[in-house]
Amino acid sequence: MSLPEARRNRLFRFVDLARVYRGWNRQQLAQHLGRDLSKVVPDSGNPKLDLVVALAEALDWNVGDVVQCVWDGVAEPSGGGDFAELDARALDAHRAGDWRRLVAGGEALVAAASTPTERARALNRLAGGHDGLGRHTRSLECLREALTMRPLPPGLETMLRINLAGAHYALWHDVEARATAHEIAERFEAAPPADRLGRVAQAFALMYRGQCARRAIAGEWGAADEAPSAGEARGNAAAREHARAARADLERAASLFSRLAREFGDDSYGGVGNTCRGALLEVGCALGEVDPLDAVATVTEALGGVEDPQLAPPGDWLESYGWWCIYGCNVAMRHLQDPKLHRAVAIFSNKAIEIADRLGNWSLRERAFSLEHDRRTRLERSTGFDPEWVLDEEDVRTIAGTMGRFPSFRDTGWRILSQARILEPA
């Protein structure tokens, strides 16, 4: 059966399901769907948007879930192989950073899984592929489903929970990310991990909890360009509380990752630890323990090693310097005045986008575009000057892709596109 035929059959099943769910006769169903009885399902198997929306309303489903079930519900043949062989191929794709191949491998694993543990492992692989492509919402769905499997080996369940915290963190679900990370961190406080997997999980739990506390600083901070009111002073006190919590977790996480890198000869742990050390610069400025100009100078000096990201090897170390750029932007936006603020943010956001392009990292893109938009908005408000933002086709594609992956970025993305001058292709 061809894919169009399979999708057409699946559409018929959805139509019948909607009729039964609502208790409608066929005439009532056709009226709700806005279709002639003989033409409810198109011959092509490709439904128009109004039909998908009407089906979702009739079933009380999310529109995206209907689309996914109709479009992706019929899997193509995986090419054979038992679960262990397919898992080895998926792991190879993961190590190579071939995220599309990992998604395909994860889907094949899901189809081949025959036990709760195998299905959870398969969904975790699939989540990793979606995460690499910046599809964090899809990754979150996979991890949530994996955690419903029972029984699960304790190590696998811990890994799934850590990955769940990471997906929430990427999507700016900070309450959920912190709660998940906190649960794991507290578990290891009560019973310290003895194996490598547990030690890695502990380090990541502390990192995510600390990073969520670091993010919370911004929500409490008073206006940087005017004297704080009493309310803002209280806000800054709350910000310092978040900063102290962030410092404790991030310092410990950085130490744990460095120790893991030395013991196991895996430099990727060192890269993650370096991300934590960059975040500590932002935290130190919030606590008044690091001079903001010194922090900006430290970031600038560190970036000398990745002057051309295209020549740098991809991996956690390069990504860490992308995040140093973001922390440098945060320091400048919160603590510096014009023109030093604008110079620092313009340089750091541009470098972050260069690193993101080298890595295909959508989270870095979201932060860099958001911070650059904030900088330009601030410049216009303080000076009345509206700096022209010129975008080419590749920039527009990147912004559109970022909007699709991060719901919280969509309003910002539309504002950027509506205000910018778009260069027409030559």
How far is it, in rounded angstroms, from Cα 283 to Cα 295?
A: 10
H/E run at residue 422: strand 421-422
Which residue in this structure is represented by tokens 């949530």? 144
Instruction: Note whether 137 and 408 are within 8 A (CB).
Output: no
Cα distances (angstroms) measured from residue 400 to each of 47, 65, 270, 358, 396: 24, 21, 33, 18, 6
How far is it, in rounded angstroms, from Cα 174 to Cα 20?
A: 40
What ranges in 113-229 are assigned the alpha helix state H? 116-132, 136-146, 154-170, 174-190, 196-220
Residue 91 burial (CB count, 10 A): 14
How far is it, in rounded angstroms, from Cα 260 to Cα 262?
A: 5
Q: How far does Cα 333 stand from its chain's mean position?
A: 23
Residues in the chain: 426
φ and ψ at residue 75, rounded to 5 degrees: -80, 145
**The model's pTM:** 0.86
- Strand, helix or coil at 45? coil
At 14 the pLDDT is 86
How far is it, in rounded angstroms, from Cα 131 to Cα 148?
A: 20
- Of the candidates 99, 121, 96, 97, the one whose C-alpha atom is nearest the C-alpha of residue 110 is 121
Kindly give the confidence (pLDDT) of every residue in the chain, 426 residues in length, as a single tens digit, with 9 standing for 90 and above. Answer: 677 787 888 888 888 888 888 898 888 888 888 888 777 787 777 888 888 898 889 888 888 778 878 876 544 444 446 899 999 999 999 988 899 999 999 999 999 999 999 999 999 999 999 999 999 999 999 999 999 999 999 999 999 999 999 999 999 999 999 999 999 999 999 999 999 999 999 999 999 999 999 999 998 875 333 444 444 555 588 999 999 999 999 999 999 999 999 999 999 999 999 999 999 999 999 999 999 999 999 999 999 999 999 999 999 999 999 999 999 999 999 999 989 999 999 999 999 999 999 999 999 999 999 999 999 999 988 888 777 899 998 999 999 999 999 999 999 999 999 989 888 776
How far is it, in rounded angstroms, from Cα 146 to Cα 161?
A: 10
Domains and CATH numbers, the chain: 3-71 (1.10.260), 83-152 (1.25.40)
φ and ψ at residue 222, rounded to 5 degrees: -75, 165
At 225 the pLDDT is 39
At 383 the pLDDT is 84
At 426 the pLDDT is 63
Positive or negative, the Cα torsion across 403, 406, 407, 411? negative
Instruction: Note whether 314 and 359 are within 8 A (CB).
Output: yes
- Please name the residues in contact with 296: beta carbons below 8 A apart, sequence gap of 6 or more: 328, 331, 332, 336, 340, 344
